[in-house]
Amino acid sequence: MALRALITAGASGIGLAIAKSLAADGTRVHIADVNAQAVKEVTAAHPLITGSVTDISDAQAVKRLFDDVRAQLGGLDILVNNAGLSGPTASVADYDPAAWLSTINVNLNGTFYVTQQAIPLLKESSQGSIIIMSSLAGRFGYPNRSAYSTTKWGLVGFAKTLSLELGPLGITCNTIHPGAVDGPRLMNVFEGRAQVSGKTVQEEVDAALQNQAVKRFIDPQDIAELVKFLCGKHARTISGQSFPIDGDSKATQ
């Protein structure tokens, strides 16, 4: 029987790379994303991928999402909590409280809502796995990105707790901590940093790579392959762990 997976923010970037990689191996995938057009395009292009337009910060919307998951997949073996907001680039002193709450509501509350709804389905699986996408910012402090860093650290504690609660049921839970992932979102981050620092975007790029032993940004497909392993049959005793995939980065900017 094919595995069944739900991926939040699965219509682009890291989430889409994971969705396509799992589907290529025969997994039936359901994606949730706020971008209706992207969901439409992805599901039209990939027969094994279905989707829902969902704002995970809305608890009622998440309940409706799981009505779709049950209807489309009939159960769940893999949950990838990938959705998250980066939030604005600003010091704590200047941080917009509304932006703080928005970031918390998606990154922490949304992950909680999705996971809570998924647990009854995962309990019925013989190979239940939860992946939570943290960040380099969930390992270090992150100047001018306080809400983002706070949530990414919080997700580690959430994953550790889930591992303890669900481990006796055979459900694993791990966090992945990507560094700078190549793509448009990364360049937006560097542009935001440049506006705050007064440096050029290229100077911010060079500074980011200077912190890494391996001088290149992360390929989303590498993250997808790690997800596949952690959700596979040879990782059933790997749980409560944090997996950096960041070129051996030592600090953040």
Say what the alpha-carbon torsion angle 167, 170, 171, 177 is, to the nearest 10 degrees: 70
Residue type, 240: G
Residue type, 148: Y
Q: What are phi and psi of 27, to 5 degrees?
A: -70, 135
Query: Tokens 């949950």 appear where?
Result: 79
Q: Which helix (H) or strand (E) holds 185?
A: helix 184-197
Q: Which member of 95, 113, 142, 148 is catalytic?
A: 148
Distance of CA 23 to the CA centre of its chain: 17
Nearest to 68 by CA among 43, 51, 45: 51
Beta bridge partners of 173: 130
Distance of CA 13 to the CA centre of its chain: 10
Write out the two tokens for 169: 């049921």
Q: Quick check: is 148 catalytic? A: yes
CA angle, 233 as apex, 245 and 133 as ends, to 5°?
A: 30
Which residues are catalytically annotated?
A: 148
